[in-house]
Amino acid sequence: MKKRMSKMMYVFVGVMLLFIASQIMASPSYAQEGNDKTLSPYFLVEGGDSTVERFPLKKTDVKVHINGVIADVYVTQTYANEGTHPINARYVFPASTRASVHGMKMQIGEQVVIAKIKERQEAKREFVKAKTAGKSASLLEQQRPNVFTMNVANIMPNDLVHIELHYTELLVPTEGTYQFVYPTVVGPRYSSQPEATAPETDQWIKSPYLPEGKTPPTTFNISVTLSTGVPLQELVSPSHKVDASWENESIATVSLADPGEFGGNRDFILNYRLTGKEIQTGLMLYKGETENFFLLMVQPPERVNPTDIPPREYIFILDVSGSMHGFPLDTAKVLIRDLIGHLRQTDLFNVILFAGSSHIMAPSSLPATQGNISQAIRLIDAQRGGGGTELAAAFQRALSLPRNENFSRTVITITDGYIGAERNVFELVEKNLSRSNFFTFGIGSSVNRYLIEGIAKAGLGEPFVVTKPAEAPAAAERFRKYVESPTLTNIHVQYKGFETYDIEPPSLPDLFAQRPLIVFGKWRGKAKGEIELSGIGGKGDYVRTFQVEKTKPRELNSAIRYLWARSRIARLSDFNVDNKNPETQKEVTSLGLTYSLLTPYTSFIAVLETIRNKEARSTDVDQPLPLPLHVSNLAVGSYGKGPEPEMVLLLTIALMVLWLVALRERRLTRIREEHSRKFRR
């Protein structure tokens, strides 16, 4: 009996050791050593060569000037080499999806170089050539509309390099509230792509991160000056502690209350309202040397709730991947419980949970009875967060569900958006626009706004972002009001006696949110005639007319040219699944070069024409990123196929103990058998 037990223990331990070995071989850390490396983010392993500076980014300073509805933003990144060996630094950082980046300069000591906008591959070749020659250079590239990379070559020991970026952004209020957002960190993205075959624009996904709760040795500071022209009623930051100083009732400066406290691990958000909830509606004109531009912002009529709401079907797609573990998933649970709990019994609903795979509540949508709602809430409450983020597969599953054509289907996605294959999702949304409405809730302190806003834009819906658990009920209430009825439908804009062309957007969808309509365009000749906007509102026909000659072109409105170009680029490229079309690429490239804008196909390049690194030997360093606030280590560790390294270690130790016990048992058995044989003799 003891022999049989001993043999069974050997077999069990052997099988478990083989299992652990296979899991380690499948894990990200092992894969990094082989030929099948994937684009997985990874944790920085500190140590190594002490002569090489591993944290070259020392500080980020942001200065924002908001004049009316336009934000003018200057971002200064300071790099330093405190090691003894030349380095080349790469830094991955985020931006607003609406940012029009139109300027960059590099300063080393007293020498300043103004960057030039060039076709992407040409800029890349020039940067590599300068780097190889030992010249200091900087290259700014767009990897996503909200993700940029900065490469700085040949940072010499004791160097201090300042890179200044300049961008412009239009602020559009919703429900009377203006919001300025400055994203500070790129969250880790899930990707199963092999590194060897991944496109250049996805290589940034393989970035180093610091463990949860570890603060990088860099500083972040931001100050915002508002000049609204109308008295400010409310000014608050839900993301950071801030101080506000007032010049008068319509001019204020906001800065961080404690710059020493690291605030670069979450979006900086500033909300403000004007007295009487006034919205800056109207026409803005700019007269340039070769082209003239206009911007029309029109506040729609107030929503009137209809008495006859058609039956609706809601499909909730909830992200339960590793990056959602903790605060994001807990907040998502509050949000989805609130949304499901307020459905009418005449509504249908379903729930799809997704991570590396997806799980559906029911094969077809169920009536929103109390019993079905309770079942859904129990299912959601049981989730803890773990695994990868395969959103496209969950979307396909949702859209393949059987449907009742008498019901209006709405797909609601709740996620932090930490995936690398955003365009696959946009394509699914675009192909199903005629059959479903699409809305997104981004949950987290630093969500992937490209995905969150992209799903909404491709689906002609509205994105919602929840950064704190306390915001979830208000966000759910706002969503319910949003989808109850549109504020304006059948929208048309006519230009009478005002010669216009290149209008953006070329067509206007129904307006659901209580937010202004925005129209950009160019004009020729004299600023005269009128612009008439018409549609059907909650109280019937709606008409609003603007007399052009009453508005004078102003030099202060020069930013409109960048905003117009950025709007066209967004339509052609950002969320457009046809962006690989050669004609589309050609047009976007031309727009970038003409208006000096960063695009997927144009980059900023600055070269200091002095050979500073004469040996031309340097080390490439990727600036480690902090995990976004409230995001756990599972956001990085979950991307592998194997278990967490700590779990592997614990299992290995446990099985080694079992193995030693088995060896001891075998040795004791042999001693007993030997004694038994001697006794029998």
User: What pLDDT score was predicted for residue 15?
Assistant: 55
Least confident residue range of 7-11, 84-88, 242-246, 330-334: 7-11
Kindly list the distances between the CA atom of residue 221 and the CA atoms of 42, 164, 169, 209, in Å, as whole numbers in the listed order: 27, 14, 19, 21
Contact in structure between 103 and 261 (CB atoms under 8 Å): no
User: What pLDDT score was predicted for residue 455?
Assistant: 82
Distance, in Å, from the CA atom of 194 to the CA atom of 247, rounded to the nearest integer, reads 55
Residue 654 makes CB contacts below 8 A (sequence gap 6+) with none
Residues 250-284: pLDDT tens digits? Answer: 999 999 999 889 999 999 999 999 886 566 678 99
* Residue 347: strand, helix, or coil: coil
Query: Regarding predicted confidence, which is higher, 500 or 472?
Result: 500
Can you tell me which residue has the tokens 């496109």? 199
Distance, in Å, from the CA atom of 403 to the CA atom of 437, rounded to the nearest integer, reads 13
CATH number for the domain running over 312-484: 3.40.50.410
User: What pLDDT score was predicted for residue 681?
Assistant: 52
Kindly list the distances between the CA atom of residue 9 and the CA atoms of 3, 14, 654, in Å, as whole numbers in the listed order: 10, 8, 13
Average pLDDT, the chain: 83
pLDDT at 638 over 50: no
Q: How far from chain centre, in Å, is Cα 514?
A: 24
42-277+600-622 and 312-484 have identical folds:
no
Distance, in Å, from the CA atom of 352 to the CA atom of 317, rounded to the nearest integer, reads 5
The full 3-state SS of 419-460, as one line of letters, equals: ECCHHHHHHHHHHCCCCCEEEEEEECCCCCHHHHHHHHHHCC
Quick one: average pLDDT of 224-240?
A: 92
Rg (CA), the chain: 29
* Residue 162: strand, helix, or coil: strand
Quick one: average pLDDT of 517-525?
A: 93
User: What pLDDT score was predicted for residue 23?
Assistant: 47
Show the DSSP H helices in 534-579 as ranges.
Answer: 560-569
Distance, in Å, from the CA atom of 331 to the CA atom of 441, rounded to the nearest integer, reads 11
Least confident residue range of 29-33, 224-228, 580-584: 29-33
Quick one: average pLDDT of 582-610?
A: 95
The HSE-up count of residue 534 (CA atoms within 13 Å, CB side) is: 5
Q: List the structure tokens of 138.
A: 């900087």
pLDDT bin (cut points 50, 70, 90) of residue 300 is confident
Spatial CA neighbour of 482 closest among 507, 504, 515: 515
Residues 506-519: pLDDT tens digits? Answer: 877 667 667 788 89
Show the DSSP H helices in 246-369 as ranges.
Answer: 327-341
* Residue 638: strand, helix, or coil: coil
Residues 491-507: pLDDT tens digits? Answer: 889 999 999 999 998 87
Distance, in Å, from the CA atom of 103 to the CA atom of 108, rounded to the nearest integer, reads 17
pLDDT bin (cut points 50, 70, 90) of residue 34 is very low
Least confident residue range of 432-436, 477-481, 556-560: 432-436
Least confident residue range of 114-123, 131-140, 328-337, 653-662: 653-662
Quick one: average pLDDT of 576-601?
A: 87
Kindly list the distances between the CA atom of residue 318 and the CA atoms of 227, 315, 568, in Å, as whole numbers in the listed order: 40, 10, 32
pLDDT at 371 over 60: yes
User: What pLDDT score was predicted for residue 403?
Assistant: 81
Residue type, 317: I
Spatial CA neighbour of 626 closest among 12, 208, 258: 208
Query: Regarding predicted confidence, which is higher, 356 or 73?
Result: 73
Query: Regarding predicted confidence, which is higher, 458 or 634?
Result: 634
Contact in structure between 462 and 449 (CB atoms under 8 Å): no
CATH number for the domain running over 42-277+600-622: 2.60.40
φ, ψ of residue 109 in degrees (nearest 5): 65, -125
Query: Regarding predicted confidence, which is higher, 469 or 386?
Result: 469
User: What pLDDT score was predicted for residue 24?
Assistant: 46
Kindly list the distances between the CA atom of residue 511 and the CA atoms of 439, 503, 677, in Å, as whole numbers in the listed order: 14, 18, 93
Domain ranges of the chain: 2-27+642-680, 42-277+600-622, 312-484
Can you tell me which residue has the tokens 């088995």? 662
Contact in structure between 522 and 500 (CB atoms under 8 Å): yes
User: What pLDDT score was predicted for residue 84?
Assistant: 94
What is the pTM (predicted TM-score) of this model? Answer: 0.77
User: What pLDDT score was predicted for residue 344?
Assistant: 80
Least confident residue range of 45-59, 353-367, 385-399: 385-399
Least confident residue range of 71-80, 381-390, 469-478, 637-646: 637-646
pLDDT at 99 over 90: yes
User: What pLDDT score was predicted for residue 230?
Assistant: 84
* Residue 666: strand, helix, or coil: helix
Least confident residue range of 128-142, 313-327, 410-424, 579-593: 410-424
pLDDT bin (cut points 50, 70, 90) of residue 26 is very low
| DSSP codes of every residue in 67-121 | ETTEEEEEEEEEEE--SSS-EEEEEEEE--TT-EEEEEEEEETTEEEE-EEEEHH
Quick one: average pLDDT of 534-542?
A: 79
pLDDT at 660 over 70: no
User: What pLDDT score was predicted for residue 472?
Assistant: 82
Contact in structure between 302 and 290 (CB atoms under 8 Å): no
Query: Regarding predicted confidence, which is higher, 203 or 417?
Result: 203
pLDDT at 31 over 50: no
pLDDT at 576 over 80: no
Q: Return the number of other C-beta atoms located less than 10 Å from residue 370's C-beta.
A: 9
Q: Return the number of other C-beta atoms located less than 10 Å from residue 531's C-beta.
A: 23
Spatial CA neighbour of 410 closest among 350, 369, 335, 356: 350
User: What pLDDT score was predicted for residue 364?
Assistant: 92
User: What pLDDT score was predicted for residue 633?
Assistant: 86
Contact in structure between 353 and 386 (CB atoms under 8 Å): no
How many residues can be counted in the chain? 681
Distance, in Å, from the CA atom of 112 to the CA atom of 389, rounded to the nearest integer, reads 44
Spatial CA neighbour of 427 closest among 417, 416, 418, 438: 438
Contact in structure between 27 and 648 (CB atoms under 8 Å): yes
pLDDT at 523 over 70: yes
Residue 58 makes CB contacts below 8 A (sequence gap 6+) with 78, 79, 80, 217, 218, 219
pLDDT bin (cut points 50, 70, 90) of residue 637 is low
pLDDT at 308 over 80: no
Spatial CA neighbour of 305 closest among 456, 514, 467: 514
pLDDT bin (cut points 50, 70, 90) of residue 237 is very high
Contact in structure between 213 and 45 (CB atoms under 8 Å): no
Quick one: average pLDDT of 60-85?
A: 95
Q: List the structure tokens of 132.
A: 């190889």
Least confident residue range of 56-60, 412-416, 514-518, 655-659: 655-659
pLDDT bin (cut points 50, 70, 90) of residue 29 is very low
Least confident residue range of 94-108, 133-147, 327-341, 655-669: 655-669
Distance, in Å, from the CA atom of 221 to the CA atom of 96, rounded to the nearest integer, reads 17
pLDDT at 550 over 90: yes
pLDDT bin (cut points 50, 70, 90) of residue 445 is confident
Tell me the sheet residues that pair with 294: 285, 521
Angle at 167 between CA 161 and CA 169, to 5 degrees: 150
Residues 170-228: pLDDT tens digits? Answer: 998 887 889 999 999 998 887 778 888 888 888 988 999 999 889 999 999 999 999 98
Residue 81 makes CB contacts below 8 A (sequence gap 6+) with 53, 56, 87, 155, 156, 157, 158, 159
Question: Is there a cis peptide before residue 259, judged by omega within 30 degrees of 0?
Answer: no
Quick one: average pLDDT of 476-496?
A: 79
pLDDT at 91 over 90: yes
| Sign (positive or negative) of CA dihedral 433, 391, 98, 181 | positive
User: What pLDDT score was predicted for residue 190?
Assistant: 77
